[in-house]
Amino acid sequence: MAGTVTSAGAAGASTGEARYRRIYVWQRPIRLFHWVNALAITALFSTGLYIASPVLTSTGEPYDNFVMGRVRQIHFVAAFVFAIAFMWRIYWFWFGNTYARSGFPYVWRLAWWKDLFRQAFDYLRLDFGHIHLGHNALAGLSYTIFIIALGWAQMFTGFAMYSESNPGGFFDGLVGWVLPLLGGSFRTHMWHHLFAWIFATFAIVHIYIVILDGRQYRNGLISSMIMGRKFVRVDDEDESG
Amino acid sequence: MSECPPSRPTTYDVLTQHGVSRRDFIKFCTVTAAALGLEPTMAGKIAHALQTKPRIPVLWLHGLECTCCSESFIRSSHPLVGDVVLNMISLDYDDTLQAAAGHQVEEIRKQIIKDYPGEYILAVEGNAPTKDGGVYCTIAGEAFTDILLETAEHAKYVVAWGSCASNGCVQAAHPNPTGAVPVKELIHDKPIVNVPGCPPIAEVMTGLLTHLLTFDRLPELDREGRPKVFYGQRIHDKCYRRSFFDAGQFVEEWDDAGARKGWCLYKMGCRGPTTYNSCSTFKWNDGVSFPIGSGHGCIGCSEANFWDNGPFYERLSAVPIPGVESTPEQVGKVLAIAAGGAAAAHAVSVAIKKAKDGKDADSKGDAGAAQA
Ligand code: HEM
Ligand code: HEM
Ligand code: SF4
């Protein structure tokens, strides 16, 4: 675990003389985080939209039904899962392998900026000349903005609204101040709702990009998030890590 | 009970002069103790205070407002409560209610400030327009902003009645042409109680005054300076339609079957889930009803910015970004569709490029592209 790169020997590629190596990139905690996070956000987004606009109507007496109550309950359970996974990922930023820190906006490092622009222009020019083992700068920036920053925003507004059902309780003390700061409970709902859509927007772009990159580099990008290893052609080893 | 009669009459003195019986007086004390969420034994303490403490002078100013707070106040549900409270405080200045008029009135105000510095309560109904030197609200030729600051200087407590004084209300709604600001933005060095609502519930108003008189301190306030006992919970938390909310049974049209069955008004824009007030507990007009009880959603009148959070009959309003008129849903869908469109366009361009480059352009050893 402590080592940064675990080379798993050479594996012959199917075509011609190209030779690939398998490199251990995503450690188990990262992969676990990824899928827990993706599932939690999917659950939060869909239950959140239901909370905002409950379309199913149950019939009969209210004591026989608990539709809205249940959906809110799922939202809150997923919210705690999201928050715990989130904190776990932050911990792993420091204690994971070097790829756990890859792509992070090291704005004070010129190399990061160079990589950012290079990656952005590569996508725009439909040119894919540049290979990374960890996240590239653009990917890292997107996770920082759309998962870390937005995640904090969503947790602050979410737990503030959550605290309202127990005034004076733990969460009220922790984040209750967010409500007046944003101009009241109602506006907090509106922000939370807007942020939810930004997650959805991120997810669309993110999934497109990983499919695109995976096909382009043939490096097993998507399976790397499941199995942990990426394929790298022996003759173009990653230069930035 | 008449140990050392104070120089000024007590509330009890005034009440008995007005023919209130001892029995009614004790009833009032008990009701008020209950309304304030105090233990029953506190009723005795309230009675004692009202019998021994001199009445507190109150200066009740009216700024930019509609007088609904006063209307609510003088209609305190229990006639006795209204009576007691009107007599309890010594309402020395209230240009709406008092008999005197003109310069006489302004003299009284100045006299009270001089005679009882640090003892009187300043009650403010309405708020102060600050633009253009405060010309949009003047009383006896003086800007209300100046009157407010002058009167606040020696006040013991400041009570901000209603949403105007607490949050700004309609006159401070966008675009706020007169620059109206709530009391808390003008007065910083006095204890202020905010009693929002348009208007606040009468029992809340009388309860607060009784508390100030009995204990001679502010009740416990929340982050926004509202008495916790009245504003500690949302309408939604105590709403009798809450079981329909949890069940997922919502009114969809004003005249549908759900409306007749009294289902939850959430989808009709009810602001109960985001509004802190006592309506679902105390109700209005002697406990007759409250908006939701009458089949109309809450409009959130005791919340900051409630006018700007409209339309009242929509669940979602505009995102709180200046200049944006769309709901989070509309903005979000545009973002998501734009992202999807961009991804699709990019995918098509990639495919076109691949097709153009043909099999020979295998620049990055992407030999498998054709098979995918
Ligand atoms: C990716 C994360 C999340 C997404 C996409 C999301 C989405 C949503 C949406 C769309 C709503 C409806 C907003 C409205 O129209 O009023 C909502 C409501 C809510 N969310 Fe989240 N949410 C997320 C995270 C959280 C978290 C971390 C919490 C913390 C407990 C939370 C707590 C709440 C609460 C309390 C409500 C209001 C429920 C109600 O009014 O009954 N959410 N969420
Ligand atoms: C089927 C859907 C998905 C697939 C195949 C997928 C795949 C991947 C892959 C391959 C990576 C690594 C990319 C890189 O090197 O930059 C990644 C990273 C990431 N993805 Fe996804 N993803 C999916 C859905 C989601 C969703 C829905 C979210 C959240 C909204 C998400 C959030 C993330 C985050 C935060 C990372 C960075 C991981 C880290 O460094 O901890 N993913 N994903
Ligand atoms: S009617 Fe309004 S306050 Fe009552 S349960 Fe429904 S949403 Fe909540």
Any atom of ligand 1 within 6 Å of the Cβ of A41: yes
CA nearest B96: which of B118, B131, B70, B117?
B70
Number of A–B residue contacts, CB under 8 Å? 167
Domain ranges (residues) in chain B: 11-231, 235-308, 327-364
Q: Which residue of chain B comes nearest to A172, CA vs CA?
A: B223
- Specify the pairing of strand A7-12 against strand A19-24: antiparallel
Asked whether the beta carbons of residue A67 and residue B248 sit closer than 8 angstroms, the reply is yes
Any atom of ligand 3 within 6 Å of the Cβ of B241: yes
The pLDDT value recorded for residue A57 is 81
* pLDDT tens track for A76-106: 999 999 999 999 999 999 999 999 999 899 9
The pLDDT value recorded for residue B322 is 82
The pLDDT value recorded for residue B121 is 92
The pLDDT value recorded for residue B94 is 80
Q: Is the pLDDT of residue A48 over 60?
A: yes
Tokens standing for B25? 């007086």
The pLDDT value recorded for residue A17 is 61
Question: Which atom of ligand 1 is least distant from the CA of A197?
Answer: 5
Q: How far is B371 from chain A (nearest CA, A)?
A: 10
CATH class held by domain B11-231: alpha beta
Q: Any CB–CB contact under 8 A between B37 and chain A?
A: no
The pLDDT value recorded for residue B95 is 77
Q: Any CB–CB contact under 8 A between B361 and chain A?
A: no
Asked whether the beta carbons of residue A183 and residue B372 sit closer than 8 angstroms, the reply is no
pLDDT mean by block of 10 residues, chain B; 372 residues: 58 83 87 83 89 86 92 72 66 76 86 92 94 92 94 95 96 94 95 96 87 88 94 96 96 94 96 96 89 96 94 91 89 96 94 79 42 32
Q: What's the B98 CA to ligand 1 centre distance in angstroms? A: 51
When the pLDDT of each residue in chain A is averaged and rounded to a whole number, the result is 88
Tokens standing for B154? 């020696």
Q: Is the pLDDT of residue A12 over 50?
A: no
The pLDDT value recorded for residue A11 is 42
DSSP for residue B75: T
| Share above pLDDT 70 across residues of chain A, in percent, rounded to a whole number | 89
Say whether B242 sits in a helix, a strand or coil: helix
CA nearest B195: which of B181, B183, B179, B177?
B183
In this structure, which ligand is nearest to the CA of A37?
2
The pLDDT value recorded for residue B14 is 82
The pLDDT value recorded for residue B338 is 97
Residues of B in contact with A58 (CB under 8 A): 247-249
Q: Is the pLDDT of residue A53 over 70?
A: yes
Cα dihedral B344/A114/A89/A83 (nearest 10)? -60
SS3 sequence of chain A: CCCCCCEEEEEECCCCCCEEEEEECCCHHHHHHHHHHHHHHHHHHHHHHHHHCCCCCCCCCHHHCCHHHHHHHHHHHHHHHHHHHHHHHHHHHHHCCHHHHCCCCCCCCHHHHHHHHHHHHHHHCCCCCCCCCCCCHHHHHHHHHHHHHHHHHHHHHHHHHHHCCCCCCHHHHHHCCHHHHCCCHHHHHHHHHHHHHHHHHHHHHHHHHHHHHHHHHCCCHHHHHHHCEEEEECCCCCCCC
CA nearest B93: which of B141, B128, B140, B50?
B140
CATH class held by domain B235-308: few secondary structures
CA nearest B36: which of B158, B209, B162?
B209
* pLDDT tens track for A163-175: 999 999 999 999 9
Asked whether the beta carbons of residue B339 and residue A201 sit closer than 8 angstroms, the reply is yes
Any atom of ligand 1 within 6 Å of the Cβ of A174: no
Q: How far is B239 from chain A (nearest CA, A)?
A: 13
The pLDDT value recorded for residue B77 is 57
* pLDDT band at residue A2 using 50, 70 and 90 as cut-offs: very low
Q: Is the pLDDT of residue A3 over 60?
A: no
ipTM of the shown complex: 0.88
Any atom of ligand 2 within 6 Å of the Cβ of A196: no
Domain ranges (residues) in chain A: 27-215
Task: Name the residue of A154, A163, A194 to mutate for ligand 1: max ligand atoms within 8 A of Cβ.
Answer: A154
Residues of A in contact with B346 (CB under 8 A): 123, 126, 208, 212
Residue ID of nearest Cα to ligand 3 atom 6: B264
If you count DSSP H runs as helices and E runs as strands, how many of each does chain B have, helices first?
A: 15, 9
Residue ID of nearest Cα to ligand 3 atom 8: B236
Q: Is the pLDDT of residue A115 over 60?
A: yes
The pLDDT value recorded for residue B140 is 86
Any atom of ligand 1 within 6 Å of the Cβ of A51: yes
CA–CA distances in Å: residue A12 to residues A9, A26, A218, B168, B367: 10, 22, 14, 73, 14
Smallest Cβ distance to A190: which of B233, B243, B320? B320
Q: What's the A132 CA to ligand 3 centre distance in angstroms? A: 53
Question: If contacts are CB pairs under 8 Å, which of residues 321-360 in chain B contact chain A?
Answer: 327-329, 331-333, 335-336, 338-340, 342-343, 346-347, 349-350, 353
* pLDDT tens track for B135-178: 999 998 899 999 999 999 999 999 999 999 999 999 999 999 99
Q: How far is A108 from chain B (nearest CA, A)?
A: 30
> Which superfamily is assigned to A27-215 in CATH?
Transmembrane di-heme cytochromes, Chain C (1.20.950.20)
